[in-house]
Amino acid sequence: MSHVEEHLQSLGYTLPEAPAAAGNYLPYRISSNQLFLSGVLAMKHGRISPTGKVGGPLSVEDGQEAARTCALNALANIKAALGSLDRVSQFIMVNGYVNGVDGFARSPQVINGASDFLVEVFGDVGKHARAAVTVAGLPGDSAVELQIVVEFV
Amino acid sequence: MSHVEEHLQSLGYTLPEAPAAAGNYLPYRISSNQLFLSGVLAMKHGRISPTGKVGGPLSVEDGQEAARTCALNALANIKAALGSLDRVSQFIMVNGYVNGVDGFARSPQVINGASDFLVEVFGDVGKHARAAVTVAGLPGDSAVELQIVVEFV
Amino acid sequence: MSHVEEHLQSLGYTLPEAPAAAGNYLPYRISSNQLFLSGVLAMKHGRISPTGKVGGPLSVEDGQEAARTCALNALANIKAALGSLDRVSQFIMVNGYVNGVDGFARSPQVINGASDFLVEVFGDVGKHARAAVTVAGLPGDSAVELQIVVEFV
């Protein structure tokens, strides 16, 4: 098991199965030393959870938990792509989409659930540039979707 | 005519004119061997069609047709950028924005209209990483917008 | 002072302080010769202004002004990353997110506020590929958010 994956387990997390694509596309593409991941949802045990709108039925804390779940699914895709999480040299960019009520302005607080997790697991390697926006809807009504680009060796 | 373009025609499609930029920007930029395309709309014969909200006035099938139209416009831009569609070595990333009603959760089904088309035309080269989200509005009220990055030789 | 920065001042603009990240992330990441900037908001003197919805309380002109303010903040981050604005060889991609009312279709006109500014300051180097969409909400209720990738030497 890789060093990063051991650390992940010591923090109490287990890598899920890499999520299946929800359409005729790939979970990732590699160009040069950059790995482009497809959008990942808040998938738990094969079901999206939580679903619904942050700032309405869901709290910011619910959204943070969803963002962390998305990030964990992204790690499963990274492992599937690279064989080991240890090959990540840096997280380049995280685009965080929050399924929020109209006018929801706290997308950064929600996406911090993913950002804090990535830094907890990867240290400096996990730090990333980021954009967080609130959108009108997400696939399967997922509370959060993340789109991530990483650099690897 | 390129191999891919011949195949496109055999499938019954004709490349449109490359769409004009809707502002002070370029239809694409090239960095290293990556081609970054500007967002493309559901433009047909110089008009955006269909316009409006998917999941409301427009059905998922209308949205799929719009997504395919966007993809066809993207191909026109790729040809303008590279001279030939045959130079595409892989589609890296497709960002699909659906102009949907609030809470619309079927963006993947809509964007499949573009993904299926790209794979039909390019085969394995057309497979791509992808993120699909529902947004509150799109330029000219286009039903769909696609933003695509390809790698070329 | 760099050539570009002198030109910026001759146009009447002053580089603000590089904005602080609104969460556990970095203002930028560098991969190869590409600089990926985090989303920038319409930050003026440490406050987001204007806030609110374009196409509702805010006019398209208000949105254009917000987009220009975002771009100015992006330049502050580019200078912090590269030491000098003169190192930018091209703007590759600008993603413009407009905090608009549901169905707002004039995102290109709003984001032109940023595009025109970048071309005014950088000339051909400032031209870029672009996508403009209307979203349901933005961090701190900023009227506009920009996410930019540049190539540098």
Cβ-nearest to C134 among B27, B37, B135: B135
Kind of pairing, strands C144-152 and C34-37? antiparallel
Average pLDDT over residues B13-35: 91
DSSP state of B138: -
CB contact C151 to A (< 8 Å): no
Grouping H, G, I as helix, E, B as strand and the rest as coil, residue C27 is coil
Mean confidence (pLDDT) of chain A: 96
With a pLDDT cut of 90, the percent of chain A lying above it is 93
Residue C91 has pLDDT above 90, yes or no: yes
Residue B77 has pLDDT above 90, yes or no: yes
Average pLDDT over residues C72-93: 98
> What is the pLDDT confidence band of residue B9, given thresholds at 50, 70 and 90?
very high
Contact C24/A119, CB-based, under 8 Å?
A: yes
Chain B, nearest residue to C102 by Cα = B136
Residue B1 has pLDDT above 80, yes or no: no
ipTM of the complex: 0.96
CB contact C74 to A (< 8 Å): no
Contact C31/A90, CB-based, under 8 Å?
A: yes
Residue C21 has pLDDT above 80, yes or no: no
Q: Kindly report the CATH class assigned to A29-152.
A: alpha beta
Task: At A35, list the tokens.
Answer: 């790995």
State pLDDT tens for residues A97-142.
999 999 999 999 999 999 999 999 999 999 999 999 999 999 999 9
Average pLDDT over residues B134-139: 98
Domain B33-152 has CATH 3.20.20.370: no
CB contact C131 to A (< 8 Å): no
User: Could you tell me which of B151, B64, B43 has the C-alpha nearest to residue B112?
Assistant: B64
CB contact B153 to A (< 8 Å): no
Task: At A123, list the tokens.
Answer: 């240290």
Closest chain C C-alpha to B8 CA, distance in angstroms: 25
CB contact B136 to A (< 8 Å): yes
CATH of C32-152, one of 3.30.1330.40, 3.40.1010.10, 3.30.470.10, 3.40.120.10: 3.30.1330.40
Sorted by where each begins, the domain ranges of chain A are 29-152
Closest chain A C-alpha to B19 CA, distance in angstroms: 25
Contact B25/C151, CB-based, under 8 Å?
A: no
Cα(B5)–Cα(A127) distance, integer angstroms: 42
- The phi-psi region of residue C99 (left if phi > 0; otherwise alpha if psi is between -120 and 50; otherwise beta) is beta
CB contact B131 to C (< 8 Å): no
What confidence score (pLDDT) does residue A24 get?
84
